[in-house]
Amino acid sequence: MDGTIVDTEPYWIAAERALVEAHGGTWSHEQATQLVGQALTFSAGILQDAGVRLGTREIIDSLTAEVIRSVQRSVPWRPGARELLDDLHHAGVRCALVTMSEGPLAREIVASLPRPYFEFLVTGDTVTRGKPHPEAYLKAVEMLQEADPGLTIDHCVALEDSAPGVAAALASGVATVAIPHIVPLPDNPRHTTWDSLSGRSVTDLEAIAAGSLAASTGSAVLSPGSMS
């Protein structure tokens, strides 16, 4: 969510800086980028190391509340995100939101969308191990399978913007598209890289899923709009 469909990372960075400075510390851009895509419990530990004299739960609640206030003023959508979600919705493609943000913020973002694009949310407060661990993605696949037992992990595609997120998606076995934003991501033959969601469509994602299915079955699949 953060950095993939909404550009909330600047909100998080501002909230982190304000919290550290309120406790007499300093917060650099380099420190902030360490937290992009990470579980909030991990981020809380880094902030404690930077001098924030609060418990983990207090830090998470403080940061989340501040980001929610910023989102309520303005939801900063990433280019092409709403258009792609709308295309998927009209095509009948089931979508789940997998984020390390907690439920209150994720629900705030989803409530601002014009249609029920997401069938369900997997948030940081519903898993025991955050990204880069694959638990959140594995849970999402299991929840999709509840309504469609024939669905396999090879039918799924994950869209991610951060190194922990990409690592989590790849570790789950889901075909992964990296859309780097705040932090550059190294090229990796195990995932597809897009510069942006702008101009992307269901056809692009179908081609990636078709390639994943072909690799798992050892067969050749030709799909219109497939990309090299």
Q: At the top level of CATH, which class does the domain 9-73 belong to?
A: mainly alpha
Q: What is the reported pLDDT for 225?
A: 33
Q: What is the reported pLDDT for 218?
A: 64
d(C-alpha 65, C-alpha 46), whole Å: 19
Q: What is the reported pLDDT for 220?
A: 43
What letters, b where the CB count within 10 A reaches 16 and e where it falls short, cover 126-150?
Answer: ebeebbbbbbbbbbbbeebeeeeee
| Low-confidence spans in the chain with pLDDT less than 50 | 219-228
Please tell me the pTM assigned to this model.
0.86
As beta bridge partners, residue 178 has: 160, 193
Q: What is the reported pLDDT for 223?
A: 34
d(C-alpha 68, C-alpha 106), whole Å: 9
CATH T-level fold of 81-217: Rossmann fold (3.40.50)
Residues of CATH 1.10.150.240 domain(s) within the chain? Answer: 9-73
